[in-house]
C-alpha cells in the first residue's frame, strides 16, 4: 500500500528526527557525585558507566563506599533521563503533536 505524498514526507521527517535525536543522545555525558564528592561517576547517554572516582578517605568503609557508588550511579541515570527527555521534548515540539503524547 502506497502512502499519500504528504504522509510519506511526514514519515521521512519523523525518521530524520529520530536519527538526529539518537545522535544527540549519544553525545550526552553527565557527572554525578555522592557523599559530598567522595564518589564521582561519569555516564554517557546510553547509560554506560564511563568512570568512577573514589576518594581514598572512604576506601576503608566498604559498606558506605558501596552505598555511595550506587547513589552516584542512580543520580547519573536520572540526569541522563532528564537530558534525554529535554532533547525529545524540544524535537517533538516542532512536530505540532499534542503535549504528553510522548
Res 102: pLDDT: 47
Res 88: pLDDT: 82
Query: What are the mean pLDDT values of the chain's consecutive 10-residue runs (102 residues total)?
Result: 74 86 90 96 95 93 95 97 87 56 48
Residues 14-26 pLDDT 10s: 888 888 888 888 8
For residue 91, which of 22, 6, 7, 8 has the smallest C-alpha distance? 22
> Are the beta carbons of 33 and 99 closer than 8 angstroms?
no
Q: What pTM did the predictor assign?
A: 0.73
Domains, the chain, ranges and CATH? 29-92 (3.30.1310.10)
Amino acid at each position: 500500500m502506497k502512502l499519500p505524498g504528504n504522509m510519506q514526507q511526514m514519515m521521512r521527517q519523523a525518521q530524520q528526527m529520530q536519527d538526529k535525536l539518537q545522535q544527540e543522545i549519544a553525545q550526552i555525558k553527565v557527572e554525578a557525585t555522592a557523599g559530598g564528592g567522595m564518589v564521582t561517576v561519569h555516564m554517557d547517554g546510553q547509560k554506560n558507566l564511563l568512570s568512577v572516582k573514589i576518594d581514598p578517605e572512604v576506601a576503608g568503609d566498604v559498606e558506605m563506599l558501596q552505598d555511595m557508588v550506587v547513589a552516584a550511579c542512580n543520580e547519573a541515570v536520572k540526569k541522563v533521563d532528564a537530558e534525554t527527555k529535554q532533547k525529545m521534548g524540544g524535537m517533538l515540539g516542532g512536530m505540532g503533536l499534542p503535549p504528553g503524547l510522548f
